[in-house]
Amino acid sequence: MNVLNLLKYSPEFGGGIASHLSSLGRKLTSEGHRLFLGFPERREWQNELSNSSKIIIIPEISRANYYSFPKAIESICRNEIIDITHIHFSYAMIFSLALSFRKLGIPIIYHWHNPPVVLNEFLTPSGSITGTTKRVFSKAIARFSDRIIDQHVSMSKEISRLLISNGWTRKNKITHLPNGITSPDFSDKNQSKKNNAIPVIGTVSNFRPQKDHETLLKGFKLLLDKEISCELRIVGDGPTKLKMEKLAQSLGVSSKVKFLGTVLNPAELIKNFDVFVLSTNYEGHPLVILEAMTLGIPIVATNISSIPEVITNGVNGLLVNPKDPSDLANALTKLFSDEELINTLSNESLKSSEKQISVDDWAGQVITIYKRYLSN
């Protein structure tokens, strides 16, 4: 069995993408199969994937709405004798293939890592005329494209619900498969006591509007106004980073905020956080929260999208309203004033992480999907 996975972009660092694809490659190889990985450009971290996969650079991926993309994929499928194509991150690739009317003659799997933008209430409010128009138009495109998709894989139950309730596909064409987690490569996971001089609040997320660092910084400002001594550490990079650095200065909190940029192994930083915060406005399935849970870190996150599928408020974390700095500050105040609550959330985070599937489990379930369609 030869499997081609197509990814919309090549991030600077592999992170969760690398760990999942690496496991998939190893498992396929061990069973006598081959994995081909198509990226729009080459990155150094892809070298590790080359041990169990063949990397193919396909510039046409970034121009998936043009005629050249379907033609390039058809050529690869024929030359490499591909049996199954698995597409990630870009519905434009699916639409392009459907529009070209090219018959690849092999099963196509589409993987939903985030809810469709047009079905996301934060990005496309359903109450507006513009939002309603976009949803009607997008449904027509989705129904047209769905005819070439053999199976949808959704990272969260919320994504499955949105696709079905909005008529984008049928229930029997969706498989729910959350991210897998990788156990940390150090043994001192349960660190109820940190060596920090003052409590450290931390987050790991790319700087873009979705992640809403503005609410995080404003909530942190309110926390300091309550004379709670603490520090904020932000790991990540992206287009809104400079804007957030300026916001920290204007709020007068820059001396208490560390912008750490992108790091190769964020787990080494996360393990020293006293609290992990994710102030995002929407998510597919937050792998970073799962990683923090494996380290027993108390979590405060927004009550949106798939996060409640992972965090139960007051049990293994605290949920707050999105875009609400005051609610975020109140949750953090509650944590820092109740050591017993911190210990409880820490212990429950660890227990919850043990119930999550591993990246190897994830790879095994993906291969099961492949075999099911190949046998048909």
Domain spans in the chain, listed from the N-terminal domain onward? 2-180+358-375, 200-354
How many residues comprise the chain?
Answer: 376
- Give burial (CB, 10 Å; 0-12/13-18/19+) of 220: buried
pTM for the model stands at 0.87
**Fold equal for 2-180+358-375 and 200-354:** yes
Closest residue by Cα to residue 153 from 374, 368, 376, 375: 368
CA distance 279 to 292: 15
Domain 200-354 sits in which CATH superfamily? Glycogen Phosphorylase B; (3.40.50.2000)
Using an 8 Å Cβ cutoff, are 213 and 242 in contact?
no
pLDDT of residue 103: 63
CA distance 97 to 105: 12
Given the candidates 3.40.50.10540, 3.40.50.1820, 3.40.50.2000, 3.30.1490.20, the CATH classification of the domain at 2-180+358-375 is 3.40.50.2000
What does the pLDDT profile of the chain (376 residues) look like in tens digits? 999 999 998 877 787 889 999 999 999 999 999 999 999 999 988 999 999 999 999 999 988 766 788 889 999 999 999 999 999 988 888 888 887 755 667 899 999 998 888 887 777 888 888 888 988 999 998 998 898 899 999 999 999 999 999 999 999 999 999 999 886 554 454 444 577 889 999 999 989 898 999 999 999 999 999 999 999 999 998 899 999 999 999 999 999 999 999 887 788 899 999 999 999 988 888 888 998 999 999 999 999 888 999 999 999 999 999 999 999 999 999 999 999 999 999 999 999 998 899 999 999 999 999 999 887 6
CA Rg value for the chain: 22
Please state the φ and ψ torsions of residue 246, each to the nearest 5 degrees. -70, -35
CB 168 within 8 A of CB 95: no
> Strand 151-154 vs strand 174-176: parallel, antiparallel, or unpaired?
parallel
